[in-house]
Structure 1
Amino acid sequence: MISTELPYLSIRKPVIGEAMVVSSQPLASQAGIRVLEQGGNAVDAAIAAAATIAVVEPTNNSIGGDAFAQVWDGERLHGINASGRAPASVDVTAFHGLRKMPERGWQSVTVPGAISAWTALSSRFGRLPFAQLMRSAINYAETGFFVSPGVAIKWSEQSEILRSQPGFAATFLPNGVSPPVGSRFRQPELAETLARIAESNGADFYRGETAKRIAAFARDCGADLKFEDLATHEAEWVEPLSSSFMGSQAYELPPNGQGVVALFALAILDRLNLSAYPVDSAGSIHLQVEAIKAAFAEMGPRIGQSAAPPPGTSWIDQSLVAKHADAIGRKKAGPFVHKLAPLAGTVYLAAGDAEGMMVSFIQSNYMGFGSGIVVPHTGVALQNRGACFSTNPESLTCIRPRSRPFHTILPGFLASQDGDLVAFGSTGGTFQPQGHVQIVARLIAYKQNPQAIVDAPRFKIGEGGNVVLEPGFSEDVQGELASYGHRLTAQSTSSWDFGGMQILHRADGRYLGGVDSRRDSHVAVA
């Protein structure tokens, strides 16, 4: 039996290379590097890694989930929103009177968008044939892969919750149990689906045999999702939003995601002279916490499915930024009224090639395996992103036919004042914008290298405004934060609750990679 015990925090050295792929799975990072060595570019590498990780880390993503990306083409930044929509025929009256949306089952399913991200990226920026990028994923689905420690843990945790969902046990619980660490797991039906996707440049998933099977299963189960919902889906190219922090520019995608929360918090911190406080000090943590609380309170109610801000406003309104910055007490915690979404499972990866193209990419089923529904004879596990809709008719994120839900997943990007470029991300639901703020603060205000940033202890704001600290902060820091009025919960014993960070930093024509020991992460170099 393979031991999963990790008695110490892993402190790794930054990895340096001419071309690089970082992800939460070694097999995915290596798949990306293989296509770089075959003549592909960073976009090809990111797609190959994304397809592979959808197979080897099914506990957090799949080909039935959504994806977002930012691409630096060497001259400018591009954004892609590949989130899916609610079915056109969804019966919204079925949700009237519910306190919140169902988190599992067919009512939580939205159209999967990940495949459309892969194909749109490949068509616009890719160098190699799309089918070539699917080879590693098909191979691992057909011949199997050895289940990694982090994946085995999350698989076991979710197995009883999802066992009764249609198709789940037959696909993901061989012999009735979740596979243990080091066991080989095969998905031949998923391999066949991926082969059809490869041969059709992705069209099969939305308009071919796979789409027909998804729609037929939905019909048999009495669900709203139809073939036309899949056939009409398209990924959308969007213009990234930005915010200045200490002369550098942080970039996030516009809503329906929560990237504006990170940008607004950084804009506040830009006015508060964060670098005057030592890294990991109570003063530094306090200012970051207060800026994030203000950003959630200001931006949260304004995030809907539209990329445009509410009429008469802008996303990063400097007068509002100044108002919130001025209201922050240097040694006094303020209130927190925003309601946070639950923690969820996601994968983040980044790729960079020798020519300087970089990709920041994130992919998710939302809550681990997602809805729990697996379409027979396809291996397609469907996401539960519909759980992020509101049931309140007055909300900007209320479920409506063909509407996009609120999204938690964020691919981050940074252009520093001195010309460095950074692709970065953090998993963990509503921890993600909080993680982005901590990454940028450490990069710019404290000049830390990517691996030091990933290894550093983290904090997060929990429900009700409680501050949760990861082990690593001193008792003096905790005591000082408490004296400011912060309600500190016990230091979390689970590092999983603080997301999984990956960072790809390009400086002086080379990459520095930082990967997270809180996950099964790996940095691969070409």
Structure 2
Amino acid sequence: MQDQGLARRELIAAGLAGAAVALPPVALAQSGARAPDAPRSAPAAVRAHRVEVPMPHGGVAAGHPLAAMAGTRMLLQGGSAADAAVAAMAVMNVVEPWASSAAGNGFATCLDRKAGTVHSLAFTGGAPGLFDPAVDPAELDSGHKAVTVPGAFGGWIALARRFGRLPLSRLLEPAIGYARDGHPLDASIAMFIRRQQAVLARYPTSAAIFLPGGQPPAPRALFRNLPLARTLQGLADAEASALQAGADRDKALMAAHAHFYTGPVAQEMTRFSQANGGWLRMADMAAYAPLWEAPVSTGYRGLDVYCSPLTSRTGLELCEQLNIVEGWDLSSIAAGDPQLAHCLIEAIKVAKADIYRHAGDPRIVTVPVDMLLSKAFAAKRRAIIDLARAIAFPRGADIARAGDPSLLALADDRSRGGDTTSLSVVDADGNAIAVTTTVGGGFGTSVVMGDTGLLCNNGLRIGSTAPYDGHPNRAAPGKRALLGNGPVIVLDKGRLKLVCGTPGGETIGQTQFQFLVNVIDRGMPIQEAIEAPRFALQADPSFYKAGAAISVQMESRFAPAITQGLSAMGHRLEMVSPFAIGSIQGVLVDGSGARMGGSDPRRMGYAVGY
């Protein structure tokens, strides 16, 4: 007689798949082949390789386990989501240096639960005032001229001032310890250092940290960054000195800000830049300020989706993609039908064309944001999509604007990629923050700025900026380049539904788009939605140019019926590794209010809740 007991592993698999499981009327087998831990009781496959992490009081999903734990430590000490985010970002600077730095750039999307409002914080520095637009573009990939004004630390202070509770010294304590005493270097970071070895070796300050003894550190070797530890300790000490002198919390935080932007850090960066032919100066540092702005947003299937405004291109891109596919009933398309992927691919093409044509720093150029976000505009753009065939990469929409350049004869300059990291936080009060930070391309400029231990963003490179004269995103002194960073918050009738973000450079908006469709249209639980196979469009020479050759990089876990169907529709496919695109970190809230964290196995991300 067949044993009707339901094995523990089947229960786990069913939970990961988000399936409703009816327990059998008989008790679970306690011994034999059907016992919960018997090898034969394991399911043939599971839909997710990591369990979702319950966060009844709060938690952090971040791009590295030590960062997630550092943020959760702040929550356990009574800190807010902002405190946890700052602590986690500081640790990411130490443990994932190829993608994160206090001297980098980024965006945060923040839910103030009590006020019921969502805010966006841009901590993105622009080109130095001495920047020469005639520079050889190769010098903007790495080196002293590639430096943009450091923005991230200003963002840390802005978050702590507006939404934080704990002193900066406590927020920086985990990062200082890991930088001073060391931590086991993740194998993937060791690989990235080895890949970048030739460039890092050009700069003695970089080689001293990343190539000790002239060689890349081995995986899991104890890795230290003593100059960074001293810099972070100096910032904590500046706050402590101000508090001891009678300053309140806000003024003490601003003392740390001054230490970075007008004091010893700025002075050392300026000295080093000037001595090596760079353009960064004290005036650039002193003039910098992070910006609190209203996020861009759209309604999708009755939910409110909030993302980063310009100078993040991803907020506009994500909203337009959602607006386009809202005209189709995606939930009615079977998971194995290539039509679903086709619809998403074509929406990405159209949105990329529009955003790359029109987006730029809104302080300097006029960008038709309201038009790009409108449902009517999306309907017109949806009409150019053929549901049966892949279209060529289109020209961006014609939107009247003074001084709009002709984009029909653009040069064939190729974009350079970017690297980022992301984290998502919820706290006991229901506040939520998603942050995506970057140093631009891997290791940013690859130049550690003097004795600071800090790498700067190389955000002036082609891709973040347009190489075409007259384009709204052409680099210029003081102008902020576009970032792909676009952390997301989704509300359901004013209540938190989802907070998420991902790294991935050009793939960020594409990854978040597919993830949202998985959650909203396909009803997946968070970990399954994160681990579902993804694709990413690549343009040759770039998304700036109409008619660019589009290839669709597809994770190899896609079913053959899907890839064959897409090929038959005219898509040019390139199969990549099974877990290769993006790294979502997020928290999903269900109808009961239960909060579940998820983290992507594609990198070394981890979620921690309590």
| TM-score bracket relative to the smaller structure | over 0.9
Inter-CA distance 318–343: structure 2 relative to 1 (3 Å threshold) = same
SS at match of 1:380: coil
- Deviations 1:296-346 (CA, angstroms, capped at 9, x unpaired): 111211110117853696331333211121222221111115798433211
Structure 2: distance between partners of 1:49 and 1:293: 34
Residue number in structure 1 paired with 2:605:
521
User: Residue 422 of structure 1: CA displacement?
Assistant: 0.9
Structure 1 vs Structure 2 CA RMSD: 2.0
CA contact (8 A) 1:341 1:430 kept: no
Structure 1: distance between partners of 2:598 and 2:454: 31
Does residue 55 of structure 1 match 2:94? yes
Residue number in structure 1 paired with 2:147:
109
User: Residue 418 of structure 1: CA displacement?
Assistant: 9.2
Aligned with 2:357 (options 301, 305, 314): 301
Q: Which amino acid aligns with 1:408?
A: G
Aligned with 1:128 (options 166, 175, 179): 166
CA contact (8 A) 2:337 2:561 kept: no
Inter-CA distance 28–289: structure 2 relative to 1 (3 Å threshold) = same
SS at match of 2:372: coil
SS at match of 1:202: helix
Structure 1: distance between partners of 2:507 and 2:499: 18
Aligned with 2:216 (options 172, 175, 178): 178
User: Residue 204 of structure 1: CA displacement?
Assistant: 1.4
- Deviations 1:136-178 (CA, angstroms, capped at 9, x unpaired): 0111111111101222222221222332135221221111111
User: Residue 462 of structure 1: CA displacement?
Assistant: 1.3
Residue number in structure 2 paired with 1:254:
309
Give unmatched runs, 5+ long, in structure 1: 1-7
- Deviations 1:78-116 (CA, angstroms, capped at 9, x unpaired): 110000011112222335xx5x77311122210010101
Structure 2: distance between partners of 1:302 and 1:129: 42
- Deviations 1:54-82 (CA, angstroms, capped at 9, x unpaired): 11111211122112101101011011000
Higher RCO structure (Cα 8 Å, ≥6 apart): 1
Does residue 343 of structure 1 match 2:381? no
SS at match of 2:216: coil
Structure 2: distance between partners of 1:289 and 1:454: 18
Structure 1: distance between partners of 2:493 and 2:570: 35
SS at match of 2:511: helix
Structure 2: distance between partners of 1:234 and 1:33: 28
TM-score by length of 2: 0.81
Structure 2: distance between partners of 1:35 and 1:404: 32
CA contact (8 A) 1:340 1:462 kept: no
Structure 2: distance between partners of 1:139 and 1:132: 11
Q: Which amino acid aligns with 1:426?
A: T
Residue number in structure 2 paired with 1:374:
448
User: Residue 389 of structure 1: CA displacement?
Assistant: 2.4
Does residue 90 of structure 1 match 2:131? yes
Aligned with 1:206 (options 261, 275, 278): 261
For residues 56-75 of structure 1, what are the structure 2 equivalents within 5 Å?
56-74=95-113, 75=116
SS at match of 2:196: helix
Residue number in structure 2 paired with 1:333:
390
User: Residue 502 of structure 1: CA displacement?
Assistant: 1.0
SS at match of 2:482: coil
CA contact (8 A) 1:356 1:509 kept: no
Inter-CA distance 494–215: structure 2 relative to 1 (3 Å threshold) = farther
Structure 2: distance between partners of 1:506 and 1:134: 29
- Deviations 1:359-411 (CA, angstroms, capped at 9, x unpaired): 00111101111101112221111221111223423011111111101111121
CA contact (8 A) 2:358 2:368 kept: no
TM-score by length of 1: 0.94
Structure 2: distance between partners of 1:254 and 1:101: 28
Residue number in structure 2 paired with 1:4:
none
Give unmatched runs, 5+ long, in structure 2: 1-45, 239-255, 396-412, 540-548
Does residue 478 of structure 1 match 2:478? no
Q: Percent identity?
A: 29
Structure 1: distance between partners of 2:162 and 2:527: 32
What number of residue pairs does the alignment pair up? 514
Structure 2: distance between partners of 1:59 and 1:484: 38
CA contact (8 A) 1:337 1:465 kept: no
Structure 2: distance between partners of 1:499 and 1:9: 18
Residue number in structure 1 paired with 2:594:
510
Q: Which amino acid aligns with 1:242?
A: S
Structure 2: distance between partners of 1:294 and 1:248: 23
Structure 1: distance between partners of 2:219 and 2:106: 27
- Deviations 1:400-435 (CA, angstroms, capped at 9, x unpaired): 111101111121121246944211112111100101
- Deviations 1:196-246 (CA, angstroms, capped at 9, x unpaired): 122333321111111100000011012111011011110000100111221
Structure 2: distance between partners of 1:364 and 1:312: 24
Structure with bigger gyration radius: 2
Residue number in structure 1 paired with 2:371:
314
Inter-CA distance 418–381: structure 2 relative to 1 (3 Å threshold) = closer
Structure 2: distance between partners of 1:163 and 1:17: 43
CA contact (8 A) 1:32 1:45 kept: yes
CA contact (8 A) 1:162 1:168 kept: yes
Structure 2: distance between partners of 1:451 and 1:418: 24
CA contact (8 A) 2:228 2:453 kept: yes
Aligned with 1:218 (options 273, 283, 288): 273
SS at match of 1:272: coil
CA contact (8 A) 1:347 1:362 kept: yes
Does residue 495 of structure 1 match 2:569? no
Does residue 270 of structure 1 match 2:326? yes
Does residue 434 of structure 1 match 2:517? no
CA contact (8 A) 1:110 1:384 kept: yes
CA contact (8 A) 2:120 2:309 kept: no
